[in-house]
Amino acid sequence: MSELRRDPIVGRWVIINTDHPLGPNDFEKEDQSAKQAAVCQFCSGRESQTPGEVESIRLNGSLPNTAGWSLRVVPNKFPALQVEGEIDKRGIGIFDMAKGIGAHEVVIETPDHHKNLADFSDQEILSVIKTYQSRLITLAKDKRFKYIMIFKNYGESAGASLEHAHTQILALPLVPKYVLEELEGAQYYYEYRGRCVFCDMIEQEYQDKKRIITENNDFISFAPFVPRFPFESWIIPKKHGFEFCSLAQEGRHNLAMILREVLYRMKKCLSDPSYNFYLHLAPLNNAYQDSYHWHIEIIPKLTRVAGFEWGTGFYVVETEPGVAAQHLREVVYSGV
Residues forming the active site:
166
How far is the C-alpha of 35 from the C-alpha of 86, rounded, in Å?
Answer: 40
How far is the C-alpha of 57 from the C-alpha of 9, rounded, in Å?
Answer: 38
Q: 208: which residues sit within 8 A by CB, 6+ positions away?
A: 322
DSSP designation for 101: B
Residues 176-205 contacting its own copies, CB under 8 A: 176-179, 181, 197, 200-201, 204
How far is the C-alpha of 150 from the C-alpha of 245, rounded, in Å?
Answer: 13
Residues 211-250 contacting its own copies, CB under 8 A: 225-226, 228
Question: Any contact of residue 304 with its own copies (CB under 8 A)?
Answer: yes
Q: Between 60 and 95, name the residue whose CB sits nearer to its own copies.
A: 95
Minimum separation from the CB atom of position 326 to its own copies (A): 18
One residue of 116, 233, 276, 291 binding its own copies per CB under 8 A: 276
Backbone CA torsion sign across 272, 76, 127, 131:
negative
Residues 136-155 contacting its own copies, CB under 8 A: 149, 151-153
One residue of 311, 332, 334, 335 binding its own copies per CB under 8 A: 311
Pairing of strands 90-92, 147-154: unpaired
Minimum separation from the CB atom of position 92 to its own copies (A): 8
Question: Any contact of residue 157 with its own copies (CB under 8 A)?
Answer: yes
Q: Between 16 and 257, name the residue whose CB sits nearer to its own copies.
A: 16
Minimum separation from the CB atom of position 155 to its own copies (A): 10
From 224, 221, 246, 251, select the one nearest 236 (Cα to Cα): 221
Specify the stretch interacting with its own copies by CB under 8 A; choose among 110-118, 133-141, 165-173, 257-265: 165-173
Q: 152: which residues sit within 8 A by CB, 6+ positions away?
A: 117, 166, 167, 168, 275, 276, 277, 278
> How is 231-247 classified by DSSP, letter by letter?
T-EEEEESS--S-STT-
Question: Any contact of residue 31 with its own copies (CB under 8 A)?
Answer: no
Specify the stretch interacting with its own copies by CB under 8 A; choose among 43-51, 115-123, 168-176, 238-246: 168-176
Residues 56-115 contacting its own copies, CB under 8 A: 80-82, 85, 87, 93-100
